[in-house]
Amino acid sequence: MISLRIDGALFNYRVAGVAVLNGKVLLHKTPSDNFWTLPGGRAELFEFSKDTLQREMREETGLNAEAGEMLWVSENFFSYDGDKYHEIGFYFSMQIHDLPHQEDFLGSEGQDELLFHWHDVADLHSIAVYPAFLTEALAKSPLEKGHYNSGYTDLDAGNPIPS
């Protein structure tokens, strides 16, 4: 996995999928997190980004997902679980072909449980979604391609970290 420890911080290369269906977007979180994210994960060396998304969805949910066009690139700086991160994220549209319903379901990341939930796009402003640009970007119809930068965020506390 492309996650490198450099000078006491972590560089992370993450790929995520944007599945929007019937006005709802699929998000996930661990039971202990106080924020939601788009499903996905870290790329492996010599793995194309679209392949990363498809592999992560199979590993975490058992579902077959198809990565579509790239929507967003983001550069994020945050603290999480006591570590500081510099993350580059690629966000692709995603279709889940064998999705049986739009109800909540459980997945896993190794030994950790993941909660998956279809959130109404119109209500995203009322929950914590990370990276923060997603709340506004997901509200646009149709979704617009873009490049986003975020300031430092402490995901454990949900508060911006002064630069």
The reported pLDDT for the residue numbered 115 is: 96
The reported pLDDT for the residue numbered 158 is: 58
Extract long-range pairs of 152-160: CB within 8 Å, 24+ residues apart: 152/77, 152/78, 152/79, 153/76, 153/77, 153/78, 153/79, 154/78, 154/79, 155/33, 155/34, 155/35, 155/78, 155/79, 155/80, 155/130, 156/34, 156/79, 156/80, 156/81, 156/82, 158/34, 158/35, 158/128
Residue 163 domain flag:
no
> Mean pLDDT for each consecutive 10-residue tract of the chain (163 residues)?
92 97 95 94 96 96 95 94 94 91 90 94 95 94 92 72 39
Asked if residue 28 lies in contact with residue 52, where contact means CB atoms within 8 angstroms, the answer is: no
CA 98 to the chain's CA centroid:
20
The reported pLDDT for the residue numbered 160 is: 45
Domain count, the chain: 1
The reported pLDDT for the residue numbered 162 is: 40
Asked if residue 104 lies in contact with residue 90, where contact means CB atoms within 8 angstroms, the answer is: no
Q: What is the pTM of this model?
A: 0.91
**Could you tell me the CATH number of the domain that includes residue 44?**
3.90.79.10
Residue 34 domain flag:
yes
Query: DSSP states of 53-90 as a string?
Result: HHHHHHHHHS--EEEEEEEEEEEEEEEETTEEEEEEEE
Determine the Cα–Cα distance for residues 163 and 156; give it in Å rounded to an integer. 17
Residue 110 domain flag:
yes
In which domain, by residue range, is 150 found? 3-158
The alpha-carbon radius of gyration of the chain (Å, integer) is 15
